[in-house]
Amino acid sequence: MTTLSIFHQDQPETAHTVTDNAAEIRELLARHGVRFEQWPTRDLPDEAAQDDILEAYQAEVSALKSECGFQTADVISLNPDHPDKDALRKKFLDEHTHSEDEVRFFVRGQGLFYLHFGDQVLAVLCQKNDLISVPDGTRHWFDMGPEPRFTCIRLFSNPEGWVANFTGADIAGQLPRYEALAGAAG
């Protein structure tokens, strides 16, 4: 189930707010300019190819491209048997920003976005059906867990795709990881 946990950066061990109410999650994220929606998903096999996934969601992807000026879309899919899963997890766990919005639509599985605003960290456990758009310049990181199992459509304004500007901050290591928060939500 989709869950939002809000932490104060000076007390990172315990969330002061936790909700699984989609409307409340949408409202709390919107206060920070984060777009959160839940879309219907299609029945596709776990091993569906990128082109098949993009074709299945062509209407939604086209609408977002038109509305927000995105140039490209691709699919990222990771499973527990991916040979680079540990390196990818480590890379995404470092706090970073982007010069464009980071948009993900979860076609299957789940992942945990941490969004750092001032002295607050909002941890959003995104699930199948969730669309999240993190505004450009937002400090954040992503935890896919030790045994990742997700497929996401990604949209980009920059044709180069995912380009991160790492902050060098160590806050990501201070908060509970995927294993603690996804276990509590599930």
Most confident of 63-67, 94-98, 127-131: 127-131
* pLDDT tens column, 76-85: 999 999 999 9
User: Looking at the predicted structure, is the pLDDT value of residue 160 above 70?
Assistant: no
Q: What mean pLDDT is reported for the chain?
A: 92
C-alpha distances out from residue 130 to 76, 113, 158, 184, Å: 15, 12, 23, 19
Amino acid at 40: P
**Rounded to 5 degrees, what angle do the CA atoms 162, 166, 172 make?**
105
pLDDT band, very low/low/confident/very high, at 186 (cuts 50, 70, 90): very low
User: Scanning the structure block, which residue is given the tokens 């995404």?
Assistant: 92
Residue 162: its pLDDT value, please? 63
pLDDT in tens, 28-75: 999 999 999 999 989 998 789 999 999 999 999 999 999 988 888 999
Total-model pTM:
0.92
CA-based nearest residue to 109, from 136, 137, 134, 145: 145
CA dihedral 55, 56, 61, 62 (to 10 degrees): 60
- Give the Cα separation of 160 and 12 in Å (integer): 34
Q: What percent of the chain has pLDDT over 70?
A: 95
pLDDT reading at 185 higher than 50 = no
